[in-house]
């Protein structure tokens, strides 16, 4: 062996190459090697290429992240969810997984649990895994990290409403139409004092806009009160029910509110909490008050009084997002909006004899 030559490593040595070995060969720090395999956006293209070349030379190919970085993608798609506790997102995930499996792909689910910091960390993680694309149901607006991911070559599809001008694909149910169907259904039953209970998410804003349109188009005078809540959970719905039950049968003075005779809830979890609170207090649903939820989750049909709801095809949304990422979308996928459906159950069945005004308030 000549002086100064580098001995060729055996296969046994190759299999145990370390981060320190790669760093020494590439002339970079161990941190740079780590970032190359876990957070590649933090490493310059020139350094990343040096690290990958060194990893190849040293047999550091056992690292799956390195292999994916070299070929540029994996068989996995990322699914970024703001909360897996929401049954709707579980349906989206199921639809995405079924469609991905049909094309030999896999889904990596990342649950940010309503945390923006956790969401950013997961986006970086999904990039480090070199997923072929990301289906995103973010906490709020599209995060900058996701836009950066797209600029670096990894596409994403927003499963939700895109705010303002945008160049990325976005699909969702027609939320404005859904809110219109819910309020129109209550108005058709003769309900005139409607209350909309919902959070501050853009989807909920559109549902409220649809309910307001139904009120504006009503041939009979009707009102729509809006009750905003911080989170759309069953517990919150129960708390709102208790607040509504404190209201008088009729206004005591100008500015006071009467008990509603119809409620549109921002989602089914809120509606189920409202339903529970009202029934426990003795309010007869739908005789005294009609209630419509939103999303038509599985629990809606199994409530003590089965819940009328607006159904969006959540599983179809997940499947559609996968097809768009894989470049095999059909005409319905490209439209970006899925038509909602009113599912009528016992919380809003039309009454045989309209209740008198006094009977529509709690005693």
Q: For residues 88 and 85, what is the distance between their CA atoms, to the nearest angstrom?
A: 9
CB contact set of 35 (below 8 Å; sequence gap of 6+): 42, 43
Is 250 part of a structural domain of the chain?
yes
Q: For residues 74 and 183, what is the distance between their CA atoms, to the nearest angstrom?
A: 46
Q: 195 and 129, same structural domain? A: no
Which of residues 109, 133, 168 is at a domain's end? Answer: 168
107 bridge partner residues: 77
- Say if residue 235's pLDDT is above 50: yes
Strands 223-228 vs 170-173: parallel, antiparallel or unpaired: unpaired
- Say if residue 176's pLDDT is above 60: yes
137 bridge partner residues: 81
Q: What is the pLDDT of residues 187-198, one digit of tens each?
A: 999 999 999 999
Percent of the chain predicted with pLDDT > 90: 60
Average pLDDT over residues 122-147: 91
CATH no. for residue 205? 3.40.50.2300
Q: 289 and 223, same structural domain? A: yes
Q: How far is CA 359 from CA 193, 196, 243, 250, 260, in A?
A: 13, 21, 19, 11, 11
Q: 28 and 97, same structural domain? A: no
CATH no. for residue 35? 1.10.260.40
Q: How far is CA 232 from CA 177, 196, 289, in A?
A: 20, 12, 20
Q: What is the pLDDT of residues 78-125, one digit of tens each?
A: 999 998 888 999 999 999 999 999 999 999 999 999 899 999 999 999
Is 281 part of a structural domain of the chain?
yes
Q: What is the pLDDT of residues 320-333, one digit of tens each?
A: 999 999 888 887 77
Residue 56 has a pLDDT of 79
Whether pTM > 0.75 for this model: the answer is no
Cα 307 to chain center, whole Å? 22
DSSP H helix total and E strand total for the chain: 14, 12
Q: What is the pLDDT of residues 17-26, one digit of tens each?
A: 677 888 899 9
Is 228 part of a structural domain of the chain?
yes
Range of the domain at 46: 11-57
Cα 234 to chain center, whole Å? 18
- Say if residue 140's pLDDT is above 70: yes
């Amino acid at each position: 062996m000549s002086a100064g030559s580098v001995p060729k490593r055996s296969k046994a040595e190759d299999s145990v190459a370390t981060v320190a070995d790669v760093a020494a060969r590439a002339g970079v720090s161990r941190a740079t090697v780590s970032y190359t395999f876990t957070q590649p956006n933090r490493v310059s293209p020139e350094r990343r290429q040096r690290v990958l070349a060194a990893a190849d030379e040293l047999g550091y190919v056992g690292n799956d992240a390195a292999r994916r970085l070299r070929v540029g993608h994996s068989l996995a798609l990322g699914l970024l969810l703001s909360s897996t506790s929401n049954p709707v997102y579980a349906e989206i995930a199921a639809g995405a997984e079924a469609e991905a499996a049909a094309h030999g792909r896999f889904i990596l689910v990342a649950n940010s649990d309503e945390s923006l910091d956790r969401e950013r960390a997961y986006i970086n993680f999904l990039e480090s895994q070199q997923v072929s694309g990301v289906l995103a149901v973010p906490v709020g607006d599209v995060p900058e990290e996701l836009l950066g991911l797209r600029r670096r070559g990894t596409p994403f599809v927003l499963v939700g409403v895109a705010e303002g001008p945008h160049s990325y694909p976005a699909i969702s149910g027609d939320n404005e139409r859904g809110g219109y169907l819910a309020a129109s259904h209550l108005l058709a039953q003769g309900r005139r004092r409607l209350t909309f209970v919902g959070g501050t998410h853009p989807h909920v804003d559109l549902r409220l806009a649809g309910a307001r349109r139904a009120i504006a188009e009503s041939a009979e005078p009707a009102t729509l009160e809006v009750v905003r809540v911080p989170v759309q959970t069953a517990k919150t719905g129960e708390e709102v029910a208790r607040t509504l039950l404190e209201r008088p049968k009729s206004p005591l003075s100008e500015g006071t509110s009467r008990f509603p005779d119809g409620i549109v809830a921002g989602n089914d979890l809120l509606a189920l909490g409202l339903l529970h609170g009202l029934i426990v207090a003795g309010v007869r649903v739908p005789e005294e008050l009609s209630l419509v939820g939103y999303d038509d989750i599985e629990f809606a049909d199994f409530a003590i009084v089965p819940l009328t709801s607006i159904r969006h095809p959540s599983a179809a949304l997940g499947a559609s997002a996968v097809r768009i990422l894989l470049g095999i979308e059909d005409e319905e996928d490209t439209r970006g909006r899925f038509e909602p459906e009113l599912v009528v159950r016992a919380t809003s069945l039309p009454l045989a004899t309209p209740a008198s005004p006094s009977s529509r308030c709690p005693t």
